[in-house]
Amino acid sequence: MAQANYIGRRKTATARLYIQSGSGEILVNNKPIEEYFPVKARRNIALHPMTVTETEGQYDIKITVRGGGSTGQAGAISHALARALDGENEDYHSILKGHGLLTRDDRMVERKKYGQPKARKKFQFSKR
pLDDT digits (tens, 9 = 90+) for 66-99: 999 999 999 999 999 999 999 988 899 999 999 9
**CB under 8 A, 24+ apart: contacts of 21-28:** 21/58, 21/59, 21/60, 22/58, 22/59, 22/60, 23/57, 23/60, 24/56, 24/57, 24/58, 24/59, 24/60, 25/60, 25/61, 26/60, 26/61, 26/63, 27/61, 27/62, 27/63, 28/63, 28/65, 28/77
Q: What is the CATH number of domain 5-99?
A: 3.30.230.10
pLDDT band, very low/low/confident/very high, at 2 (cuts 50, 70, 90):
low
pTM given for the model = 0.90
Proportion of the chain above pLDDT 70, given as a percent:
98
pLDDT(63) > 80: yes
Chain segment 7-20, per-residue pLDDT in tens? 999 999 999 999 99
How do the domains of the chain map onto residue ranges? 5-99
Q: Does residue 1 have a pLDDT over 60?
A: no
Mean pLDDT for 42-60 is 93
Q: What is the pLDDT of residue 4?
A: 76
Mean pLDDT of 30-34: 95
